[in-house]
Structure 1
Amino acid sequence: MRNGLLIGGISIVLTLIFWIVDPLMQYTNTWVSLLMFVIIIALFVIFGLEIRKAVGGYWTFGEAFKGLFVMSLYVSILSIAFHYILFNFIDPTLAQRAADAVIAKLNDSLSKSGVSQEKIDEISKSITGKFDASFKNEAINLGVGIIIYAVIDLIIAAIIKKTPPLAPIIDDTDPTV
């Protein structure tokens, strides 16, 4: 729980920093999004290894997944709550500006790729409502985020698991031993 809250807090601080620098940076700059993703994943690995060490150096795949998943739940809930507050109270125009910026960037790249204007308009229309910070959209984002984190947690758990060695089997029936 503590590690999930810490990762969620770090995610919020990074979001605030990027928002202060340029409110649309997280939504239009792929490198910023990738950087955030890498930092969060690195923190999951670091805290996962820290927990494994704290519990004696061994952590089965199931235990690792459960621990990482609990962290993910806290990170997801904190992130969704913060974005709801950011879009509705701190910067109420951010959702529309972000949607417009993403659509403009998408339109530019799709038109360069030779996609028809009709298809571009259809894609743009589907994106517009995704940035509204309504309870419904935030609930959907929470569900999608949990699913994505669960997949990431499975991968990290497979990497950091460490099964304790089996105790040697002693055969009492063999008189030569």
Structure 2
Amino acid sequence: MEKLRKEGAVLGIYLGLLVVVLTILPMYYYVSSKSFWTITAGSVITSFLLPLIVAIWFAFILRRKVGGYWSFRQAVTGIFMMLLVASVISTASGFIFEKFIEPDMREQYMRNMQNNTIEFMENAGVGAEQIDEQMAKLDEQIEAAANSTPLDTLKGFAVYIIVAFVLAMIFALISKRERPIFNRIENNEIG
């Protein structure tokens, strides 16, 4: 189990760094983009979909590194370690980036999103009342983001730990691979 945790932590470092890059670098583009779809779909792809695909791929790499077979419990342990390390890196890096490196980046991104949403809704023929409602919601989100504290970051991290454990169980179900019975008998593993 120790090797599994260690290998999971190493892959978690790689995954965490990848998430940081896929979250921060595209943000510079999204801040100035004039396309509603680029901002909404692009951020979902770079911040969620690609890291999810890489995490699944890393789960299979992790299984191979520990011999190609693992039980559900071993899979959950290794994958959860990987996701936990990745989330610590991405959360800490995101907090440092938003508070110290580019403190206005999130607000700029959200203001650009708001402007593109207004334009998209107007082009779609949405009524002024619905647009005003949507803008009020976005204004609340911008205000909440501007007033976020380290405690808010810790609360989000705590929620992510639960999500990471659920994802680890799902990935474990996908990647679980028990050693065939005839190999156990030959290796005197059944007693």
**Equivalent residue number for residue 42 of structure 1:** 53
Tell me: CA distance 1:140–1:105, structure 2 relative to 1, closer, same or farther (3 Å): farther
Question: Out of 84, 88, 92, which is 1:73 matched to?
Answer: 84
Structure-2 separation of matches of 1:99 and 1:53: 41
**Equivalent residue number for residue 156 of structure 1:** 171
Larger Rg: 1
Tell me: CA distance 1:98–1:20, structure 2 relative to 1, closer, same or farther (3 Å): closer
Structure-2 separation of matches of 1:59 and 1:78: 26
Q: Note the residue ranges of structure 1 that are not aligned, 5 or more in a row.
A: 170-177
Q: Which has the higher helix share?
A: 2
**Equivalent residue number for residue 159 of structure 2:** 144
Equivalent residue runs for 1:4-23 within 5 Å: 4-23=12-31
Counterpart amino acid of 2:168? D
Answering whether residue 80 of structure 2 is matched by residue 59 of structure 1, we say no
Q: Note the residue ranges of structure 2 that are not aligned, 5 or more in a row.
A: 1-8, 186-191
Counterpart amino acid of 2:88? I
TM-score (norm 1): 0.75
Q: Percent identity?
A: 22
TM-score (norm 2): 0.71
Structure-1 separation of matches of 2:150 and 2:157: 10
Structure-1 separation of matches of 2:28 and 2:20: 12
Structure-2 separation of matches of 1:30 and 1:88: 25
Structure-2 separation of matches of 1:32 and 1:61: 32
Task: Give the CA RMSD over aligned residues.
Answer: 2.9
Secondary structure of the corresponding residue to residue 116 of structure 1: helix
C-alpha contact (below 8 Å) 2:26/2:46 kept by paired residues:
no
